[in-house]
């Protein structure tokens, strides 16, 4: 139980700091810390494959991509300083509404969930969590989704290359 | 021992933090990071439900969510690069006119 | 404090210190082998035959001044070598280096010679290899110097490109070995075919072994893939601005990564600790011999082959190595299906 609180606290605090940080590089690094904590939670939930995949895919690949983009764009955080220096609830117009809505969402979710459900019992025995069973299920029941996902990644790869390419005509 | 409820509350808190980030922050990259926080919160609740129901389906859906998140992050960042090249700014409020 | 717990803690400390020692031995071996390949003597003054040279190097590095560029982001500057070194050590935690032993009857039950036996060990190694990219990319960024930034970005782009072929080679071995746990894969390689040929996976997966070694060399940024840290090209790449112990951390991380790649290759392809003439409990001697042979091969390659230019390196990784790895995986899967193993 202490492990659950530890990982949960790290995940929540890191996520809060992600959205509160000015420097985008620190945001990315804090998000990696949050992913590490979530990976620990997956291990507690008897899902070691998902835990390791989270590190490999999310913390090891997607966040590297974010870091590259932040470094290459030399993301200026001075420009947004003026808007972001003021506390969210005191900003003009639509931004204040956004902050109020976010706070309302937090309060509402926690209220709804803490009303207690019938699922207050502990978990049963461990589900089948071997990689072999996952693979078998992935290639039989979910085979169509698997193939569609591979096409999706191909499309995303081509799209990202095309979108990020410099237009050769723009340098005239 | 943590119950299913504990995991769901944690997932809800993380989701709310992500949403707050999308609403409040004025930096495109931080907005994309907040979307990733939301996706992770959803992953956590999928795995928790899968564990509580005793099937492996929760983990398989997480597999697909991660893949889709990777694809979406790649394309989203490519769009951010394109926008930055045009206006030299990452503040979404500079992109308010429909004219390129 | 049961004897088992004491043995476990002792094992962890033992592995940690042996890794540090292996880095020191590698420093000496590299310089001596490089010297002999170049027909000169190498270090011979410090201690008999120059054996104490690594000690002299460490003392020199400890006494150097710790510089820090003024415009550098101090937190990331300090964090980057820590990430590199930690990931290098952590990856070795799941590598088994011997059969389960009771230390000649001192313990009541055998303890595995592996710091942490997880049943997804192969994936854990891959995950920690993915995390070690951050040490390099943060070092490049936080030094706030153009050589460092270029070196850091190039090096991390190279590492994540070759991770794909690395993963495909691992996947081919998993198809043959039928398990994700390194101990099980090694135990599947015991015994002989026709009483003479050991059942190592290198005979079933020769192409996979070559792909794994090539991708491993590229992952650890060693020649011929060491363009990002080549002295003639980029001053020293991502660790230009580092000095004294921080530089030593990067150095250490590189050597320990080499040792880990060799150890995992030994476990996956060369039969781990199985070998003739010795009983199972002394199998770690065979393990050391095999890892030593692979490390010698690493050093030999560095001082023999010329360096790849960066665009040649990237095009090799994406256009040649990755398709070969994918085809290897397909052929392996078809073979396993056909022969019903």
d(CA C103, CA C6): 13
Within 34-73 of B, beta carbons closer than 8 Å to A belong to: 34, 36-37, 40, 43-44, 47-48, 50-60, 62-64, 66-73
A103-139 burial, b if ≥16 CB within 10 A, otherwise e? bebbeebeeebeeeeeeeeebeeebebebeebeebbe
Each residue's pLDDT tens digit, C112-129: 667 666 778 888 999 998
Flag the least confident range among A9-18, C20-29, C101-110, C316-325. Answer: C101-110
- What pLDDT was estimated at residue A95? 66
- What pLDDT was estimated at residue C47? 78
> Under 8 Å CB-to-CB from B73, ≥6 apart: which residues?
A62, A65, A66, B32, B36
Distance of CA C314 to the CA centre of its chain: 21
Q: Which of C119, C123, C131 is the closest to A59 by Cβ? A: C131
Flag the least confident range among A26-35, A50-59, C133-142. Answer: C133-142
The domain defined by B4-94 folds into Helix Hairpins (1.10.287)
User: Residue C71: is its pLDDT beyond 70?
Assistant: no
pLDDT: which is higher, C226 or B69? B69
Highest mean pLDDT among A167-171, C247-251, C302-306: C302-306
Give the minimum alpha-carbon distance from B92 to chain A in angstroms, rounded to a whole number.
Answer: 10
CB-count exposure of residue B26 (10 Å: 0-12, 13-18, 19+): buried
What is the share, in percent, of chain C residues with pLDDT greater than 90?
Answer: 24
Residue of A90, A114, A127 to mutate, testing the B interface (most B Cβ within 10 Å of its Cβ) = A127
pLDDT-derived band at C105 (thresholds 50, 70, 90) equals low
CATH of A1-77, one of 2.40.50.100, 1.20.120.1200, 1.10.150.120, 1.10.357.10: 1.20.120.1200
Averaged confidence pLDDT in chain A: 81
Question: Which chains lie within 8 Å of chain C at 3 or more CB pairs, if any?
Answer: A
Report the pLDDT averaged over residues C278-293: 83
- What pLDDT was estimated at residue A92? 62
- What pLDDT was estimated at residue A114? 72
pLDDT: which is higher, A135 or A92? A135
Residue positions counted in chain C:
341
Helix, strand, coil percentages, rounded to 5, for chain B: 80, 0, 20
Give the tokens for residue B56: 């492996």
pTM of the model: 0.88
Residue of B18, B20, B100 to mutate, testing the A interface (most A Cβ within 10 Å of its Cβ) = B20
User: Residue A75: is its pLDDT beyond 90?
Assistant: no
> Strand pairing partners for C101?
C111
C111 DSSP 8-state letter: B
Domain boundaries, chain A: 1-77, 86-115, 128-172
- What pLDDT was estimated at residue A172? 42
d(CA B19, CA B37): 9
C224: preceding bond cis by omega (within 30 degrees): yes
pLDDT: which is higher, B94 or C18? C18
E strand or H helix at A60, and its extent? Answer: none
Report the pLDDT averaged over residues A142-166: 91
A and C interact (at least 3 Cβ pairs within 8 A) = yes
Flag the least confident range among A48-62, A138-152, B54-68, C188-202. Answer: C188-202
SS3 assignment, position C308: coil
Give the minimum alpha-carbon distance from A32 to chain B in angstroms, rounded to a whole number.
Answer: 10
- What pLDDT was estimated at residue C119? 77
Give the phi and the psi of residue A105 in degrees, each rounded to 5. -65, -45
Domain boundaries, chain C: 71-99+115-339
> Under 8 Å CB-to-CB from C190, ≥6 apart: which residues?
C199, C271, C274
SS3 assignment, position C222: coil
Do A1 and B64 lie within an 8 Å CB cutoff? no
Please give the radius of gyration of chain C, using alpha carbons only, rounded to the nearest integer.
Answer: 21
Give the tokens for residue C323: 């398709």
Each residue's pLDDT tens digit, C229-272: 665 555 556 666 667 778 888 888 999 999 999 999 998 998 88
Chain B positions in Cβ-Cβ contact with residue A45 (cut-off 8 Å):
7, 47-48, 51
Report the pLDDT averaged over residues C204-225: 89
Chain A positions in Cβ-Cβ contact with residue C141 (cut-off 8 Å):
25, 71
Averaged confidence pLDDT in chain B: 88
Domain boundaries, chain B: 4-94
Give the phi and the psi of residue B62 in degrees, each rounded to 5. -60, -40
- What pLDDT was estimated at residue A59? 92
A118 DSSP 8-state letter: S
CA nearest to C186, candidates C115, C270, C283, C91: C270
B87 touches chain A (CB under 8 A): no
C198 DSSP 8-state letter: E
Report the pLDDT averaged over residues C210-219: 92
The CA dihedral of A42, A43, A49, A54, to the nearest 10 degrees, is 50
Interface confidence (ipTM) of the complex? 0.90
Q: Where are the beta strands (DSSP E) in C113-198?
A: 192-193, 197-198
Place of tokens 């030399």: A74
- What pLDDT was estimated at residue C216? 92
Do B23 and A138 lie within an 8 Å CB cutoff? no
C52 DSSP 8-state letter: T
Each residue's pLDDT tens digit, B12-70: 889 988 988 888 888 899 999 999 999 999 999 999 988 888 888 889 999 999 999 99
Q: Which of B14, B25, B29 is the closest to A69 by Cβ? A: B29
């Amino acid at each position: 139980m202490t492990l659950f609180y530890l990982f949960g606290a790290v995940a929540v605090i890191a996520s809060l700091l992600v959205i509160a940080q000015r420097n985008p590089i620190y945001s990315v690094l804090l998000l990696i810390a949050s992913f590490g904590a979530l990976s620990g939670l997956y291990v507690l939930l008897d899902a070691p494959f998902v835990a390791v995949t989270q590190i490999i895919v999310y913390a090891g690949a997607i966040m590297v991509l974010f870091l590259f983009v932040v470094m290459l764009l030399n993301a200026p955080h001075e420009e947004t300083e003026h808007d972001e220096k003021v506390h969210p609830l005191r900003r003009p117009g639509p931004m204040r509404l956004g902050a109020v809505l976010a706070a309302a969402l937090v309060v509402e979710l926690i209220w709804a969930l803490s009303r207690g459900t019938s699922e207050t019992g502990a978990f049963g025995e461990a589900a089948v969590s071997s990689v072999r069973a996952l693979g078998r299920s992935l290639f039989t029941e979910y085979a169509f989704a698997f193939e569609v996902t591979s096409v999706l990644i191909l499309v995303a790869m081509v799209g990202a290359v095309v979108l990020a390419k410099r237009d050769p005509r723009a340098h005239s | 021992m943590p119950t299913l409820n504990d995991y769901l509350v944690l997932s809800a808190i993380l989701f709310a933090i992500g949403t707050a980030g999308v609403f409040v922050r004025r930096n495109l990259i931080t907005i994309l990071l907040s979307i990733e926080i939301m996706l992770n919160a959803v992953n956590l609740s999928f795995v928790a439900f899968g564990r509580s129901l005793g099937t492996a389906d929760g983990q398989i859906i997480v597999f697909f969510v991660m893949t889709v998140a990777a694809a979406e992050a790649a394309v989203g960042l490519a769009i951010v690069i394109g926008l930055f090249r045009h206006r030299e700014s990452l503040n979404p409020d500079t992109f308010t006119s429909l004219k390129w | 404090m049961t004897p088992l717990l004491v043995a476990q803690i002792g094992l962890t400390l033992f592995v940690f210190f042996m890794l540090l020692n292996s880095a020191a031995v590698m420093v000496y071996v590299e310089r001596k082998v490089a010297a002999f390949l170049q027909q000169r003597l190498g270090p011979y003054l410090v201690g008999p035959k120059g054996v104490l040279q690594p000690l002299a190097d460490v003392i020199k590095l400890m006494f150097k001044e710790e510089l820090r560029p003024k415009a550098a982001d101090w937190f990331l500057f300090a964090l980057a070598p820590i990430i590199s070194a930690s990931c290098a050590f952590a990856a070795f935690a799941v590598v088994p280096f011997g059969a389960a032993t009771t230390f000649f009857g001192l313990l009541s039950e055998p303890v595995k010679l592996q710091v942490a036996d997880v049943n997804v060990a192969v994936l854990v190694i891959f995950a920690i290899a993915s995390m070690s990219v951050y040490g390099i990319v943060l070092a490049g960024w936080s030094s706030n110097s153009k050589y460092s930034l270029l070196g850091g970005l190039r090096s991390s782009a190279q590492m994540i490109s070759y991770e794909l072929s690395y993963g495909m080679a691992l996947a081919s071995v998993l198809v043959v070995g039928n398990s994700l746990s390194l101990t099980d894969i090694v135990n599947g390689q015991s015994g002989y075919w026709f009483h003479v040929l050991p059942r190592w996976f290198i005979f079933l997966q020769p192409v996979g072994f070559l792909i794994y070694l090539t991708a491993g060399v590229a992952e650890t940024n060693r020649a011929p893939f060491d363009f990002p840290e080549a002295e003639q090209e980029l001053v020293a790449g991502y660790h230009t601005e580092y000095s004294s112990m921080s530089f030593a951390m990067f150095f250490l991380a590189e050597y320990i990564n080499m040792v880990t790649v060799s150890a995992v290759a030994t476990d996956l392809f060369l039969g781990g600790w199985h070998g003739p003439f010795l009983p199972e409990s002394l199998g770690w001697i065979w393990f050391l011999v095999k890892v030593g042979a692979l490390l010698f091969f690493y050093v030999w390659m560095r001082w023999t082959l010329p360096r790849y230019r960066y665009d040649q390196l990237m095009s090799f990784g994406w256009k040649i190595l990755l398709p070969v790895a994918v085809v290897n995986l397909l052929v392996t899967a078809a073979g396993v299906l056909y022969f019903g193993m």
